[in-house]
Amino acid sequence: DIVMTQSPDSLAVSLGERATINCKSSQSVLYSSNNKNYLTWYQQKPGQPPKLLIYWASTRESGVPDRFSGSGSGTDFTLTISSLQAEDVALYYCQQYYSTPITFGQGTRLEIK
């Protein structure tokens, strides 16, 4: 199984500042045939299910604010929130869909400083 490791486990950022969450996979999730990274990011607020933010490592889902961006390739990925808003307080998860079983990172808790 591909192990997904996120860092940090928790993060406190001031409103309007940049937040960066990292995700590392135990093996590459880049498929050489199409040069795509099989990596997605979700946001989960308390009492709610996960919400899709980004897929293919950097493609923003429709309706997701453009302050959210994804980057990286191979085994190292980053979710960046360019200017933190109060409504961004949540847990964030990465997930690989390169191979079965799909696996998730352990989650990163984002709070306001």
Partner 1 sequence: QLQLQESGPGLVKASETLSLTCSVSGGSISSSTYYWAWIRQPPGKGLEWIGSVHYSGSTYYKSSLKSRLTISVDTSKNQLSLKLSSVTAADTAVYYCARPGVVPAADWRGESWFDPWGQGTQVTVSS
**Which residue, 17 or 98, is less far from partner 1 as judged by CB?**
98
Provide the greatest CA pair distance for the chain.
43
**Which residue, 31 or 83, is less far from partner 1 as judged by CB?**
31
75, β-bridge pairs: none
**Which residue, 17 or 111, is less far from partner 1 as judged by CB?**
111
Q: Residues interacting with partner 1, by CB under 8 A?
A: 31, 34, 36, 38, 40, 48-52, 55, 61, 93, 95, 97-107
Reduce the secondary structure of 75-113 to three states and give it as a string. CEEEEEECCCCHHHCEEEEEEECCCCCCEECCCEEEEEC
Q: How far is the CB of 105 from partner 1 (least distance, A)?
A: 7
